[in-house]
Structure 1
Amino acid sequence: MENHSAKPKKTSQMTDEERLQLAEKLDKELDEYIAGLERRPYTEGWPEDRWREEMEKHPFFMTKPPEEGQPLSPLLEGIQQLKYDESENTPEELAATYKEDGNFNFKCKKYRVAIISYTEGLRQKCSDDSLNAQLFNNRAAAHFFLKNYRSCLADCRAALKVQPGYPKALSRAAECSFRLSLFDDCIAFCDEMLATSTSNKEALELRAKAVATKKRAEMQARRQAVARRKQEAEEKELAAAIKERNLNIEGQSGPEIKLKLLQPISPHGVQKRVHLSEGRLVWPVILLYPEYETSDYIQEFPEDCRFEDQLTTIFETPPEWDKEGKYRPENLRLWYEDREEKVKFPVNKENTLGETLSDKRIIIRNGTPVFCVEVVGKDRK
């Protein structure tokens, strides 16, 4: 039996014109298909008017860290969870991560946020002493820029305890000690720096400044101590003199004289409290002129001076308010009025102030005796 093999079909090649017609046909069909699709707006992209804001939320494009309390994007939140996951990171890795965060915020001058990051790093209690010392030192630097000098010094001491001789911690500890007027500590830190580098210019200058400032402070403290002892002695002598005269002082109870009861409250009487001068009491005194509703304030009225002498001095030149010129020493009389106790009685102007104040009816209020002056005789209306 004869076997005949089938002959392959001969395929004709497309001409360029046929290929072009086919391409146009396919393009037309595709256009018709696209045109027949349902038109829907694209909502998954970033809005054109807020694309910068959206990029700022993306962890790969943001130019600054999120503000405290600001909600995080899901992507950033996921990265953070992975970054700070205690099950995925060792204490050393977490401490290093928090240190990097702190350094970033420190460079951005967000010192309080940096302190939080360094503190979180220290809470990991990692076994790397060098890393712990850096965290203490960096937190100290953040405290320094916030002028929290005591906290800064405490962190410097902690860094030096973990890593003795830490140069940056020593330098900052010396500076903080100086600013806190802990001059002995400052000198000790400077000496520690100079022990390893005798030509350390910063340490030499700060030490010299601390020594000089300490001497001035000690001298000032000695002067203040001498002045304080002198004041205490004067107040003790004043209290004894007032007690000896047995005066009637408002608010006084018991044998001890309370000098605070003798502090004037009149605006003119500030810093003019009764005092001793050559063994005599010198008082601030107010003279009231009810007729004209005015007054005179005598800053220093010695207890051995007579009222008549004071009135002569006051009215040597007639005051502007005495248009009629009737306020002359010989036409005047004094009286004491206690409005609270409703007591009123005359005062002999020939008596001294001390003799007058010895009258138990006169109460010295706020450390300032007060008397009224009026015209008597033919000139009184």
Structure 2
Amino acid sequence: MAESDSKEAKKPMTDEERLALSQKLDRELDEFINSLEKKRYTEGWPEDKWEEEMDKHPFFMKTNPDGGEMSPLAEGLAKLKYDPEENTPVELAGNYKEDGNFNFKHKNYRLAIMGYTEGIKQRCNDAELNASLYNNRAASHWHLKNYRSALFDSEKALTFNPNHAKARLRAAKSALEVAKYDTCIEHCQKLLETSKDNEVQELLQTAKKKKLLQERDQRKRERGKQRAEEQKDSLIKTIIERGIKISKCEDEDDIDLSKLEPTLPGAQDSIVYVENGQLRWPVLILYPEYQITDFLKACPEEVSLTAQLEQVFPAPWDEDNKYRCASVNIYYEGYDKMPHIINPSKKLADLLTERYFELKAGTPAFFVVVRGSDIERKFLESYI
């Protein structure tokens, strides 16, 4: 009997048997996985500290974080990448550029600037690399809104590569931000020589409009300055014509606005001025009895001092109603350091030109006391 006849022929699996076997294998695999010990993976870098962990990695660290001796691996990697004895200036500049690019990509713009700066310091002879370093540093400054630095670096990049379109566009944008409109226009026009980019055309039109506004504002400032000078000259000329003596002025040429500015706190904006050919003065009224003052702004020189006091009296602090125009005497301290009584019905202009009157700090000052009172007597005795 033949051997093949002694063995039972192997029957092929049916579809039902094949499906049952597949399900059995799936169950056994699930049981195996579920039997494994479950633990959380802790070997990776935490998401919120990946940069800090990266700085500790031997491949990326530049110095030992503890300030001590670096591990042989870290020291070898640092030397491989940053040691000038192991790298050419071009290689070093390229390595620092990579550092800058890494930090720029992750929006660490200040660190990126440090990386690009170190690359620039290598002073390598690769013009394109230098242009890239300056352009990238300009981009970092731009994101930090350091527009003047961005403009400087962009234009520096163009000295190495005048055809660097990104650097020129950033130079134009930075110039616009710092109101250097002529510079912006120049860069835009240069860009439009090789491209009709809509962004550049819009930037050019914006710069031209802002330049016109800048020139208009400058003309306004110049006209305002000119008017101020004319008003100053008119004021000084009027005071000289009135014959008013000014303290600490040797002669007419020594008169300037600084000697006419009130020194009282908050009164600096009340300086004498000319209106319709008439001087309008700040006037200080002092009451020795109460050690208080009244400050009157813009008193016309053609009005009497009595008319000014009538606006002040009765005073809220004068409970006994002693201070009235008819019951007070008014004095000024002359350049002879003595008190001089005045006639308050006189115009202010006439009082300012009396023999002993001297204008101090641009503010006529008068002392008001009750006529015949002990206060008046003590006031006069204080000058003896």
TM-score higher than 0.5 here?
yes
CA deviation vs aligned residue, 1:71-123 (integer Å, no higher than 9, x gap)? 57333233212212333323322221111112123334443443332233233
Q: CA deviation at 1:196?
A: 2.5
Q: CA deviation at 1:264?
A: 0.9
Match of 1:353 among 336, 348, 352: 348
CA deviation vs aligned residue, 1:173-199 (integer Å, no higher than 9, x gap)? 01111112111111121222233221x
Residue in 2 that maps onto 1:365? 360
CA deviation vs aligned residue, 1:211-230 (integer Å, no higher than 9, x gap)? 11111111111111111111
Q: State how far apart, in whole Å, the 1-side matches of 2:65 and 2:151 are.
A: 27
Q: CA deviation at 1:263?
A: 0.7
Q: State how far apart, in whole Å, the 2-side matches of 1:380 and 1:132 are.
A: 84
CA deviation vs aligned residue, 1:302-336 (integer Å, no higher than 9, x gap)? 22221122223332xx2222222232222222111
Q: Name the CA shift for 1:168/1:72 in 2 (closer, same or farther; >3 Å).
A: farther
Match of 1:321 among 317, 325, 332: 317
- Computing the radius of gyration from Cα coordinates, the structure with the larger value is 1
Deviates more, 1:246-255 or 1:363-372: 246-255
1:284 aligns to what SS in structure 2?
A: strand
Residue in 1 that maps onto 2:154? 156
State, as a whole percentage, how many aligned pairs show the same letter. Answer: 39
Residue in 1 that maps onto 2:29? none
Cα RMSD (Å): 3.0
Residue in 2 that maps onto 1:247? 244
Q: State how far apart, in whole Å, the 1-side matches of 2:64 and 2:337 are.
A: 69
Q: State how far apart, in whole Å, the 1-side matches of 2:372 and 2:101 are.
A: 90
Residue in 2 that maps onto 1:227? 224
Residue in 1 that maps onto 2:189? 191
Alignment of 1:232-381 (within 5 A): 232-256=229-253, 257-315=255-313, 318-337=314-333, 342-376=337-371
Q: State how far apart, in whole Å, the 2-side matches of 1:161 and 1:216 are.
A: 31
Alignment of 1:139-218 (within 5 A): 139-198=137-196, 200-218=197-215
Residue in 1 that maps onto 2:381? none
Q: Which runs of 5+ in 1 are unaligned?
A: 1-51
Q: Which runs of 5+ in 2 are unaligned?
A: 1-49, 377-384
Q: Name the CA shift for 1:55/1:239 in 2 (closer, same or farther; >3 Å).
A: closer
TM-score, scaled to structure 1: 0.76
Q: CA deviation at 1:238?
A: 0.8
1:267 aligns to what SS in structure 2?
A: coil
Q: State how far apart, in whole Å, the 1-side matches of 2:64 and 2:339 are.
A: 73
Q: Name the CA shift for 1:209/1:109 in 2 (closer, same or farther; >3 Å).
A: same
Q: State how far apart, in whole Å, the 2-side matches of 1:69 and 1:228 are.
A: 62
TM-score, scaled to structure 2: 0.76
2:135–2:154 Cα contact (<8 Å) kept: yes
Q: State how far apart, in whole Å, the 1-side matches of 2:227 and 2:135 are.
A: 47
1:140–1:155 Cα contact (<8 Å) kept: yes
Residue in 1 that maps onto 2:124? 126
Residue in 2 that maps onto 1:79? 77
